[in-house]
Amino acid sequence: MPETDNLQHTTYNSRDRRPWLLLLSALVILCDRLTKIAIIHRIRPGYDIPIIPGVFRLSHVLNTGAAFSLLENLPPNAVRIGLISFSVFAAAIVFFLLWQTGRKLTPTSVALALILGGALGNLYDRIRFHHVVDFLAVRIYHYNWPDFNVADSCIVIGACLLLLEIFRPIPHDS
């Protein structure tokens, strides 16, 4: 390979991918907001629309608690302030980790971008509306999965990607 081609290849591969990863986080936030707005305008709170009868429905749940409606029976302001504080702290850590690892496009950096977007999407709702809109409802046999949203989905997908990275075998140089 000629010297200039090798130099161009190295330069191309060393580009900073953080802007693209932050764009991914922003797209997660945008998709989360747009889907929640659509649900708010089409389904009244407490109602749902069956999509796949007995399996999947669109609902409109106002979640004042944590993930899976945990803590929703505690005093609302205490839970809200606690969740906002935790979310800000967690988002700051994830942003820091993304900034550190985001020079390259890796499963870890994509996972962190998804988690950051999801955390900020739900944080926005907690600050602005004092609750999070959940609208995806899944039932598998007799088990009803707690309602969730796009932000929750991205957080879970990001966490799964991180787990896959943790348990991925490390190639040994021979």
Give the 3-state secondary structure of residue 134.
Answer: strand
Does the annotation count 152 as an active-site position? yes
Q: Which of 32, 125, 134, 147 is catalytic?
A: 134
d(C-alpha 23, C-alpha 168), whole Å: 27
**Residue (of 119, 112, 123) closest to 158 by Cα position:** 112
* Residue found under tokens 């942003």: 95
d(C-alpha 74, C-alpha 28), whole Å: 29
d(C-alpha 98, C-alpha 116), whole Å: 9
Q: Which of 32, 125, 147, 152 is catalytic?
A: 152
Give the active site residues: 134, 152
